[in-house]
């Protein structure tokens, strides 16, 4: 849903607004509220964060965070999953993870929700890639497909269950097939 304020907001003004549920994003001067996640979306998002962190966080190579606001390049977006390499995780003065991430993720994962504009989601993935993100995924639970967007390469459409999903170079230990990813939609499948 696009919200049209009385006057156009700047990015700085947008960032001063209270957070909405679901989150709103600031893209090209517009405030766009993301759709409310539904069951398939939530299941894939939660499991993906766990699987990436089981490898990335334990080895101190990357951290996956759900629904994290990332503000960079004149936009403020909230990817379904934002993965940051270990050395790029913003820290506060006490060495704890920061609350504000003014940087692009190294891997952005978007899970398409019913009634969500695929074009707007792809636009955010491309914005991340242009800023230096290494990989983007667009996961479509209804079609049981993934479009992978490797940086500086053609997108890759994956739908065959036995195909391995491409991952960024920093997390080569993650080996996940299309079939395994979508098996997470069955309760109890881990």
CATH number of the domain where residue 113 is located: 3.90.1570.10
DSSP lists the bridge partners of residue 120 as: none
Please report which residue ranges of 57-188 form alpha helices under DSSP H: 118-131, 178-183
How much is the mean pLDDT over the chain?
93
Placement of tokens 């230990």 in the chain: 173
DSSP lists the bridge partners of residue 111 as: 139
Residues recorded for the chain: 190
| 169-186 mean pLDDT | 95
pLDDT at 5 exceeding the cut of 70:
no
SS (H, E, C) 38-90: CHHHHHHHHHHHHHHHHHHCCCCCEEEEECCCEEECCEEECCCEEEEEHHHCC
Does a structural domain hold residue 94? yes
For residues 162 and 178, the answer to whether their CB atoms sit within 8 Å is yes
β-strand pairing of 2-3 with 24-27: unpaired
Does a structural domain hold residue 188? no
Q: Which domain holds residue 51?
A: 36-183
Does a structural domain hold residue 148? yes
Share of the chain above pLDDT 90, in %: 82
How many domains, in total, are found in the chain? 1
C-alpha span between 165 and 22 (Å, rounded): 28
Does a structural domain hold residue 75? yes
pLDDT band at residue 7, thresholds of 50, 70 and 90?
Answer: low
Does a structural domain hold residue 189? no
Q: What is the pLDDT of residue 160?
A: 97
CA R_g for the chain: 16
């Amino acid at each position: 849903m696009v919200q049209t304020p009385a006057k156009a907001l700047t990015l700085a003004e947008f960032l001063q607004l209270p957070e909405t549920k679901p989150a709103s994003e600031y893209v090209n001067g517009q405030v766009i509220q993301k759709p409310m996640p539904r069951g398939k979306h939530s299941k894939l998002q939660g499991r993906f964060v766990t699987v990436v962190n089981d490898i990335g966080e334990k080895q101190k190579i990357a951290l996956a965070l759900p629904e994290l606001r990332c503000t960079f390049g004149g936009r403020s977006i909230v990817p379904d999953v934002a993965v940051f390499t270990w050395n790029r995780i913003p820290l506060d003065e006490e060495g704890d993870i920061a609350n504000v991430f003014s940087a692009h993720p190294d891997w952005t994962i978007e899970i398409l929700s019913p009634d969500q504009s695929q074009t707007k989601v792809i636009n955010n993935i491309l914005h991340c890639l242009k800023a230096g993100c290494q990989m983007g995924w667009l996961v479509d639970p209804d079609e049981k497909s993934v479009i992978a967007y490797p940086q500086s390469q053609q997108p890759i459409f994956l739908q065959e269950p036995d195909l391995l999903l491409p991952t960024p170079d920093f997390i080569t230990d993650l080996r996940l097939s299309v079939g395994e990813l979508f098996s997470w939609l069955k309760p109890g499948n881990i």
